[in-house]
Amino acid sequence: MTIDFIPPNTVEVPEIPYDSKVELPAQRTAVIVVDMQNDFVKAEGSLEVPAARETVPHIQQMLKRARELGITVAYTQDTAIENDPEFDIWPAHCIRNTWGWHIIDELAPEKKDMVFQKNRYDGFYGTGLDHFLTRIWHVEHLVIVGTVANICVLHTAASAGLRWFHVVIPANGISALTTFDQALTLRQASYLYNGHVVRSTEHIQFVRSEEGKERLR
């Protein structure tokens, strides 16, 4: 048989081609922070992803560098209604205007930042994200960080990749509930979208100079 149609309990991970450095032109780049909300990140959150807390300092430092160069920073915010149909799949979480719905203080948006409320996993689905990236900000490169890696991060990265944004994902800036889910996220992101994955947010350089300006693809 060519593959195991019904996978065994343990599988080999295809090699993930981490880049040692990615340079992105500040003018053409946006950083998207996905769903770093109390319900996902905090120990008291209703849908806690413990690994998410470990990503916070990495994201903070990268945001600091990005903001210093005037790079656009945008947020997605998972936003459920009471009795949301998603609660048939998940515990109730991120109900609008509740504590759990708010973005964590450590990564609080600045006043000028756009926060895209979304009802489902994909930051592009049912939001103005594509419009702002493409028609207002005219960016081509996206750094995507946040949680949950294989859920809202990956679905957002997929929609970005389909639209030929150049998507960069740092492994230490995303978090999942299992190592398998982390692995599949990095596999898909590096394999399918002509983006780049790096081990660390520190491997992403934002540059002001013109030479980084040409499209990477």
Closer to a second copy by CB, 63 or 186: give it: 186
Closer to a second copy by CB, 4 or 211: give it: 4
Both structure tokens of 36: 């770093």
Q: What is the CA radius of gyration of the chain?
A: 17
Cβ 136 to a second copy, closest distance in Å? 7
Full DSSP string of 26-68: GGGEEEEEE--BHHHHSTTSTT--HHHHHHHHHHHHHHHHHHH
Q: Is 212 left (phi over 0), alpha (psi -120 to 50) or beta?
A: alpha
Please tell me the distance from the alpha carbon of residue 25 to that of residue 208, in angstroms, as a whole number: 6
Residue 23's DSSP bridge partners are 205
Cβ 116 to a second copy, closest distance in Å? 9
Question: Under a CB-based contact definition with an 8 Å cutoff, are residues 205 and 35 in contact?
Answer: no
Cβ 173 to a second copy, closest distance in Å? 9
Q: Is 132 left (phi over 0), alpha (psi -120 to 50) or beta?
A: alpha
Cβ 175 to a second copy, closest distance in Å? 7
Cβ 179 to a second copy, closest distance in Å? 4
Q: Which amino acid is at 103?
A: I
Closer to a second copy by CB, 99 or 164: give it: 164
Cβ 154 to a second copy, closest distance in Å? 8
Closer to a second copy by CB, 24 or 58: give it: 58
Closer to a second copy by CB, 39 or 181: give it: 181
User: How many alpha carbons lie under 13 Å from residue 203 in its C-beta half-sphere?
Assistant: 16
